[in-house]
Amino acid sequence: MLSDRIPYYILDLLQLTPSVQVEGLGRFEAIFHSAKMDERQSALVPPHVEGAFSADDTAPGELLESFIRYTSGEQSESPKKAIADFVKSVKKGTAEGEPFAIETFGTFVKSSSGHLRFTPDWDAFNIAFNGLESVELKPESSKSPVMVPLTPPEPYVRKSIEFADEETKQEADDGAAAAASIAAVEQSKVEFEKNLNRADPSNSKIWWLLLMTAIVLIAILCVYLTWDIMHNRSRLNELRQAYADTTEIAPPASEQPESPEEVPVQEPQENQEVNVQEPETPVVPDDNTSKCYIIVEAFGDPANVARMVARLEGMQYTVRQFSGRTLTKVGVESGCGQEELQRRLNELRSTVNPESWIY
């Protein structure tokens, strides 16, 4: 049936346009994220497409209807009727609060407040970037070759020998020259082997320097990790603890103590019992009015920030922006109770961004 292929027409159309409006259901969006540097993992993350959905069923969906009629040609079934049947099947599948999953497209679910939400299929929306993986940026340590100096051979000292005739003398000179050349080669070979055996001890200082540098770097890394763990632990403890309200409350006017000049000072009499009242223990109020935030995504482009803010506000969230040097974080307001904070974090990870974190 044509209504069963409506989700795949939506995916094909999202490859050509950033958003597709489905009449009676809402607007599907394909938010493009370029490749970025992940400093925490020291890797280059490839580009990807983030699927989004906004339950705005008031706008018409003429583009999708025209695209179906153009790609499928003449059909016995009207594209407008097929879109209406698809919308009806989605609303019927989510009427009881159960998720309505469509293979290689995504899952629809209705929240407790009655809003329809959509979790896209990652592989279906990122079919254009399928096969791309993160590139690690940890350079391998290069090893420089060890240069071993060669000791020149000792000079050959020729001994003068008297010969009877010139011919014998010439032959002796030739033989002595050949023997000297062979001896020089052998001597060079022996010296080279000796220097090669001494290569490791002579370069021990370099290896010790590299080892000490590595130890210092590891120590610095351990100190930084310890500080980071303690810092985050203190922040978690601040969220879990309930602090007493130290604001001093002024007593009403009727209970204001008299000025020192008007209050008579009574001296205690002998054998008179003095009632000493112990100070009351202050009651620590349960402060549930504090607010925490869950960061959904960080963008460098203001257009992406505005698009994400509009999307979250369309999902009935209270949105706040946190500006940094190069990136702007988009967050959702939440209570600081542990259960509420974890529930809201799981909800945002399943509907908006799987990498959301508590700020």
Give tens-digit pLDDT for 37-72: 877 877 888 888 888 888 876 777 788 888 888 887
Per mean pLDDT, which range of 147-151, 278-282, 292-296 is the poorest?
278-282
- Where residue 144 falls among pLDDT bands split at 50, 70, 90? low
Q: Which residue has the tokens 């993160």?
A: 134
Q: Tell me, what's the pLDDT at 158?
A: 56
- 105: region left, alpha or beta (phi > 0 left; psi from -120 to 50 alpha): alpha
Beta bridge partners of 116: 110
More confident residue, 235 or 325: 325
pLDDT for residue 177 is more than 50: yes
Q: Tell me, what's the pLDDT at 145?
A: 55
Nearest alpha-carbon partner for 22 in 61, 69, 79: 61
Q: Tell me, what's the pLDDT at 213?
A: 93
Helix, strand, or coil (residue 227)? helix
How far is C-alpha 319 from the geometric centre of its chain's CA atoms?
A: 21
- Torsion angles phi and psi, residue 110, rounded to 5: -105, 130
Q: What is the mean pLDDT of residues 144-157?
A: 60
Q: Tell me, what's the pLDDT at 174?
A: 66
N- to C-terminal Cα separation, the chain = 47
Q: What is the mean pLDDT of residues 261-274?
A: 47
Helix, strand, or coil (residue 254)? helix
Q: pLDDT tens digits for 195-245? A: 655 655 556 788 888 999 999 999 999 999 988 888 887 666 666 554 444
Q: What is the mean pLDDT of residues 178-200?
A: 69
Helix/strand/coil (H/E/C) assignment for every residue in 303-358: HHHHHHHHHHHHCCCCEEEEECCCCEEEEEEEECCHHHHHHHHHHHHHHCCCCCEE
Q: What is the largest CA-CA distance in the chain?
A: 148
The shares of helix, strand and coil residues in the chain, as percent rounded to the nearest 5, are: 40, 20, 40
The mean pLDDT of the chain is 75
Q: Tell me, what's the pLDDT at 68?
A: 84
Determine the Cα–Cα distance for residues 178 and 173; give it in Å rounded to an integer: 9
Q: What is the mean pLDDT of residues 259-282?
A: 44
pLDDT for residue 189 is more than 70: yes
Nearest alpha-carbon partner for 335 in 294, 291, 300, 304: 291
- 191 and 148 Cβ atoms separated by less than 8 Å: no
- Where residue 278 falls among pLDDT bands split at 50, 70, 90? very low
